[in-house]
Amino acid sequence: MKKIVLSAFSDEYADGLIEQCKALSEFGIGFSELRGIDGKNISELTNAQICRVKEILNEYRIKPSAIGSPIGKISLDGDLNAHLEMAKRVFESAQQLGTNRIRVFSFYMPNGDTAEHCRGRVLAEMEKLVKLSEEYGVTLCHENEALIYGESPERCLELAEYFGGKLRCVFDMGNFVLDGYDPKKAYGMLKSYIEYFHIKDAMYAGAIVPPGAGEAKIKEIISQHSEEGEGEMLITLEPHLQTFSGLNALVGKSFDNPYKYENREVAFCDALARLRGLLSH
């Protein structure tokens, strides 16, 4: 059985990195997927700022489980050369911080275009990123998300197979539910390519809800994966309960979410408590 290692998007608790690290220490979480740092995306930080990030992480004994980058979260008709330069900065930051996992996406289609028509361009741009990642010794981990090429389980599998496992999967069961896919079926298709999990729960009606309160089958999937083989299994809490209230609009659904929180800290704490409850039974 695999040992579960818990990480979190600590920027969903607070903007400031020190506040994030203090909270993780209090919660007994030793890892963070780094994304928002003091109000900026990690891709925007200078080398000097990354050095300061490393100092703070070391002070609180927090290790980066991955870089939650925005790489690939751009339309194919955007400035892809500038985007590739941003990817280089992210890879350099990962090297400085001591993690080799980089969360990425697989591009938005230009307005009016279809994923099928854009397949060749997507693969060509992903090929550039994969080659660059090999130069820097980092691993690209593709997250399934609404409206990108790799939204569906089938396209996630296509990408993983096309790159022969060089492009790994960040399995987000909540996103699959929001986009109308069966997460258990998706897991069966992708399990051999999964690098780690993002934990959020959701309902097909369009709501993001606390872990265990939705239809993402978190407990079933995590239990099954933990029983397959030995070693460690990384899961990253990404509650999205309050920080990302606009996501329902993004996926084109409207739903009166019964789970409402007075602030992001309360939302994060509730999500963490519920996740730990799922993992303990």
pLDDT tens per residue, the chain (281 residues)? 899 999 999 999 999 999 999 999 999 999 999 999 999 999 999 999 999 999 999 999 999 999 999 999 999 999 999 999 999 999 999 999 999 999 999 999 998 899 999 999 999 999 999 999 999 999 999 999 999 999 999 999 999 999 998 999 999 999 999 999 999 999 999 999 999 999 999 999 888 999 999 999 999 999 999 998 889 999 999 988 864 444 444 455 556 677 888 899 999 999 999 999 999 97
pLDDT at position 253 is 56
The structural domains of the chain, with segments of one domain joined by +, span: 3-279
pLDDT at position 243 is 46
Q: Which residue, chain included where needed, has tokens 């999967």?
A: 169
**Residue-wise over 163-198: b if at least 16 C-beta within 10 A, else e?**
beeebbbbbbbbbbbbbebebeebbeebeebbbbbb
pLDDT at position 262 is 87
Q: Of 118, 171, 110, 182, which is closest to residue 144 (Cα–Cα)?
A: 171
Structural Rg of the chain based on CA atoms: 18
The Cα 197–Cα 5 span in angstroms is 11
pLDDT at position 57 is 98
Q: Contact at 8 Å (CB) between 37 and 93?
A: no
pLDDT at position 259 is 85
CATH number among 3.30.565.10, 3.20.20.150, 3.20.20.70, 2.40.160.20, domain 3-279: 3.20.20.150
The Cα 174–Cα 192 span in angstroms is 19
pLDDT at position 258 is 76
